[in-house]
Structure formats: C-alpha cells, structure tokens
Amino acid sequence: MAFNEDRQILNLTDSELEDLIKKWLAKVADTYCGFERPTASADMGRDAVGFLSAGRYDGDWHNYQCKHLKAPLGKAEFVSELGKIFYYAAQGEFTLPTSYIFVCPNSAVRDVKKVIDRPSLIADFLIDNWDAYCLNGISTTSCPLTPALTIAIRAYAFENVELWKASELVEKPQMRAVLHEHLDIDPGEAPRVRVTDVPEYVADEESAYVTQLVAVFAAASGAPFSSYAEVVANATYGPQIVNARRRYLERQAFRRHFRDNLPAIQIDNVDEDVHETVIDRYHALGTAPLYERLTQIMGVASTAQVTGALGRHNRVSPSVKQGACHHFANVGRMPWA
C-alpha cells in the first residue's frame, strides 16, 4: 500500500504538495493550534507553518519547506532556503522556527543528506556556502553574511532540521487520512478473522448481541438454550453462533485497521450503507420467525454497496457488512430478539 501512496505523492505538483502539508497540519490539531500557508510572494522561506501556541510567530512554530523537485533536493536549494529563514528572522519578520522540515519526496543529494544526518555540520555548511547561494539568491538586494547572522546560525539547534522523503511522509500520523480525502488511493486489505481466532469466552462488550442470538437459536430449535456455551455445544447452531461472533470481530478489526489511515466518515459510511440496505427488510420481517429474519438480513447485508474509496476498491468483505448488523443489534439499533 505504501508503494502506491509514494507514487501518488511523487505525481503531485509543487502547489499540490504545499496544500497537502497544510491540510495535514489541520488534521493533526492535537499538535498544532494553528497553521498558515504564506503566499508565494511573501513566503520568506515558509511554505507551510504550524503554530504550537496562540503566540504564533512569537511562540514556538514549525516550518515546512516543500521542495517537489524532479531531482533530489540540491545544495543550492538547501542553503538558500535555510538562508532565507535566518535572513528574514534577523530582519524582524518572525522568530526562528523551533523545527524546520524539508518535505522532499525525492530525498536529497548526498552532500545535503550527509549534513542533515549530522546536524553539527549544518552551521559550517551554511556559512561556507552563503556567498555562493544566499548573497544574491535571497532578495533582489544583496544579503551579506553579517556577524549577527553568523551568531544566529551558530546558536541554532540544527538537530531540529529534518528531511521527509515520500516513503517517510506517508507514515506520518494522519497523513494517509489526508491523502485518501484528496486522492483515490487503494486503502488496501484489512485483516481477516478466522473461526479459530474467535475467543472461547464472550467479552462483556459483546454480551448484548450474543444474548439476543441465544434467544434466536433457542426459538428456532425449541431447545431451552440459556447461555452461549449451550448453543456452542449444539451441532446445528453452535457453528452459526461462533460464525456470527467472527463476523462481529472482523468488523471491529476492520475499523481498527483503517482508523488511522482513512477519514472517519469513510469508515462510518460502511455501517450506514449496510444499514440503509437492510433496514426496510428488517422491518418487513418484524412478524417473521426470529431465525428467518436473522438469516435473511445476513444475506441482504452481504450484498450492500459501499460508497467511497473502500467501496470503489472493493475492500469491505461480506463478513464486515454482516458484522455491522450484529453491531446494530449490540447497541440496540436493530435487535435480533
């Protein structure tokens, strides 16, 4: 799955990459309390900014510099972009960022990668190359390396300079959720639950729908089942109630698997699409034998058409759809008995 996402990122334009980072900053609201994407004419080395406090540039902030080059980040771009931040900070435009992230899907050339991996080398690297790339490359006027700039560069914590290439970018928390909101990426396959994976004992969280199923199978068999264990011991209905639990647990595993990679609404839509598919049949069978209603609803649920990326890429198994019905029974939305 990550390989496909890497390729999608590499196909973005410069503007699309910057927009992706801004949308990601908004998604990680627990990290940032605000964000900004300065206009191109006034970015001063800032493509996307995440603020860690209401003080904005008077407090801690992170700078994201997006370099979506067809080639890896080169020496000239690395030096000049860092130089802009120090130059404009010295001009009083903002404070220095507490973290500086180069977002470069194609990584960086060897010399740049080396100094990023050894932060103690960055200050000398920037100072030694200032005249070549910053003196006339930052502004329309000359920007000499002043003693004040030199002091600021040598005092900066360059261990907070990072490089994110495509394969690292997609692994950031909530990044896949942002990608799936804007790109039609295959979400991949969720884990499956086998009958042998079903625990012997029913968890408290499952007790409502399992108790209802005990009543359904008791009514169907005419046997006085009073517990899950008694149904499991029955040759006809035991496999059915265990399989019902397998479907319920597969839905849970499905939701856990995708919750960090997809927008929550796409995961919730699976349940809603199943509910819309089965609810009229459920009510129509309101006077039917309980077992008949259960089996018919299971059949209808398995055919439910799911919207969104999960549906387009056929990533919702029949078991997940059927497990959604047991979830509805568990929360009292569509009880079996």
In angstroms, how far is CA 305 from the centroid of its own chain?
Answer: 24
Looking at residue 29, its pLDDT comes to: 67
Q: Supply the pTM of this predicted model.
A: 0.60
Q: What's residue 166's pLDDT?
A: 86
Contact 66, 129 (CB under 8 A): no
CB–CB of 291/219 below 8 Å? yes
Task: Name the maximum alpha-carbon separation found in the chain.
Answer: 93
**Tokens matching residue 159:** 């261990």
pLDDT in tens, the chain (337 residues): 444 677 778 878 888 888 888 888 777 767 888 888 887 777 899 988 999 999 999 999 999 998 877 789 999 999 999 999 999 999 999 999 999 999 898 899 999 999 999 999 999 999 999 999 999 999 889 999 999 999 999 999 999 999 999 888 888 887 877 877 767 677 778 899 999 999 999 999 999 999 999 999 999 999 999 999 999 999 999 999 999 999 999 999 999 998 877 778 889 999 999 999 999 999 999 999 999 999 999 999 999 999 988 998 899 999 999 999 999 999 999 999 9
